[in-house]
Amino acid sequence: MDKEVFYKKQRKFGQKLKQLHHWNAVLFVILAVTGFVLLSTDFRQWFPQGRIWVKDIHIWIGFVSILPLVVYTPKMVKHLQTLRKRKNNQRNLYVVLFILVMLMVSGIALTYHREIGPEMSSAALFIHDVFTYLGVPYLLYHSITRSQWFKEMEKRRLQKDQEKRYVIEDNNPMMDRRTLLRKGTGGAIAIGMTPFIYQWLKPHLGLATLNNSSELPLTKAFSPLPQPLPDSKPPIGGGREGEFRYYTVTKMPQVTEANFSFQVDGLVNHPKEWNWEQFLQLKREVQVSDFHCVTGWSVYKVTWEGIKLKDILSKANVHPKAKYVKFYSQDGVYTDSLTLEQAMMDEVMVALLIDGKLIENRNGGPVRLIVPEMYAYKSVKWLNRIELIAEPHTGYWEKRGYKKNAWVKI
């Protein structure tokens, strides 16, 4: 083949690759944006319903983007080799590919979190997080510095420099300008990402215990405080392993002793209502259990102290017509339910203490439900009312697409 034809072909091929490259970038931007929305606790609060479809979009685009990557990669590698492009370009390609593959593999694992179990999901979520927080800025840098817009800006800057004869002595003024612009871009991205990375690392740096100062610590809002049982302090579980991600679909309710009440009503023979002091008189027990969120994170060996739900139900004397138990939160919005049979399981607890301390407000305190065998969307925070009902009730997240079957083990 003569040289002319060869180069023409290569150029055409390069053009095609460029288009594909562009579409990959578009898919990637959608994934990055939806991914950060899913990470945002603020979004969860402002627009909870949106989370469900944002997650669907994220997963679908994720799957769709596998295809162009598979088609595109071998061609790109070949193209770079034929044109004997700079080593730099090739190395960059492999870094980008590595990031994308790690995100995809961990993303697929997370999509099937239920099938692979909590341990594998936690690992997948960790990988997905790492490559989001470190990989996304890299890819952002990659796409900005390779865009037509950026290259033109570089060119313009260089021309200006030459006109002004600033860097005329330099051997390679283009290189200098370029390095400067690129370092600037890299720096700006790094600074922009810092709050996100900080947010992510905070619990791992031991900063999670610092309370938001606008929040009244519950230990000040209640008196007396529950005295932990010997099994709670020191916690028989040896202290929890892992970090909670604190979720709320509303503004966090400020529970105080004055507005605290705990009710059991509906289809019961003896409806009950306790104030704080009376509530503390109920017999508490201690249990160690794991806590699994359906989005992939878990906290292990949590020592909870509280009242077994079955004990509370027996105090209220459940009417034979009751088939389901509905749980209300003091936030006025969040609810969920169990069948009566599920509610009678031994480990279902109305918890007050975690690892020997009153449960914090953001963690659902002072009183939250714990259903260790099920995903934590069943574990209603700021629990203040239990209603016995005859018909099934669809909980907050279940209404918005979460499965009614919340068993962790399938």
Ligand X SMILES: Nc1nc2c(c(=O)[nH]1)N[C@H]1C(S)=C(S)[C@@H](COP(=O)(O)O)O[C@H]1N2
Binding-site ranges for Mo ion (CB under 5 A):
293-294, 376-377
Nearest distance from C-beta of residue 338 to Mo ion, angstroms: 16
276, interface contact from Mo ion, ligand X, none, CB < 5-8 Å by kind: none
Token couple for 141: 């840098």
SS3 state of residue 320: coil
What does the buried/exposed string (b/e) look like for 74-100 if buried means 16 or more CB atoms within 10 Å of the residue's CB? eebeebbeeeeeeeeeeebbeebeebb
Q: Which stretch binds ligand X (CB under 6 A): 50-58, 309-317, 349-357, 371-379?
A: 371-379
Q: Tell me which residues in 255-274 interact with ligand X (CB under 6 A).
A: none
In angstroms, the CA 263 to CA 267 distance is 13
In angstroms, the CA 410 to CA 407 distance is 6
Contact pick of 138, 247, 274, 300 for ligand X (by CB under 6 A): 247
Q: Does 249 bind ligand X (CB under 6 A)?
A: yes
Nearest distance from C-beta of residue 246 to ligand X, angstroms: 4
Rounded to 5 degrees, φ, ψ at 290 are -95, 155
Q: Which residue has the closest beta carbon to Mo ion?
A: 293
Q: Which residues neighbour 391 within 8 Å (Cβ) at sequence distance 6 or greater? A: 323, 324
Q: Which is nearer to ligand X, 143 or 303 (CB)?
A: 303
Token couple for 358: 């009153």
Q: Does 376 bind ligand X (CB under 6 A)?
A: yes
Contact pick of 122, 382, 386, 395 for ligand X (by CB under 6 A): 382
Q: Which stretch binds ligand X (CB under 6 A): 14-22, 182-190, 230-238, 240-248?
A: 240-248
Q: Does 300 bind ligand X (CB under 6 A)?
A: no
Q: Which is nearer to Mo ion, 249 or 294 (CB)?
A: 294
Radius of gyration of the chain (CA): 28
- Cβ(255)–Cβ(361) below 8 Å: yes
Q: Kindly report the number of other CB atoms within 10 A of residue 200's CB atom.
A: 15
Q: Tell me which residues in 324-353 interact with ligand X (CB under 6 A).
A: 329, 331, 334
- Interface mask toward ligand X for 37-76; x: CB under 6 A: ----------------------------------------
Q: Which is nearer to ligand X, 27 or 264 (CB)?
A: 264
Q: Which stretch binds ligand X (CB under 6 A): 12-20, 175-183, 184-192, 375-383?
A: 375-383
User: How buried is 7 (Cβ within 10 angstroms: 0-12 exposed, 13-18 middle, 19+ buried)?
Assistant: exposed
In angstroms, the CA 384 to CA 366 distance is 10
Q: Which stretch binds ligand X (CB under 6 A): 83-91, 220-228, 310-318, 372-380?
A: 372-380
Q: Which is nearer to Mo ion, 51 or 79 (CB)?
A: 51
327, interface contact from ligand X, Mo ion, none, CB < 5-8 Å by kind: none
In the chain, count H helices and then E strands. 14, 10
Q: Which stretch binds ligand X (CB under 6 A): 29-37, 195-203, 255-263, 378-386?
A: 378-386
Contact pick of 27, 54, 100, 293 for ligand X (by CB under 6 A): 293
Residue 366, preceding peptide bond in cis (omega within 30° of 0): yes
Q: With contacts defined by CB under 6 A, how many residues of the chain interact with ligand X?
A: 18
363, interface contact from Mo ion, ligand X, none, CB < 5-8 Å by kind: ligand X
339: amino acid identity, one letter: T
Please state whether 266 falls in left (phi above 0), alpha (psi between -120 and 50) or beta: left
Contact pick of 65, 342, 379, 384 for ligand X (by CB under 6 A): 379
DSSP 131-170: IIIIIHHHHHHHHHHTSHHHHHHHHHHHHHHHHHTSSTTS
Which residue ranges make up the site for ligand X (CB under 6 A)?
244-249, 293, 329, 331, 334, 363-364, 376-377, 379-382
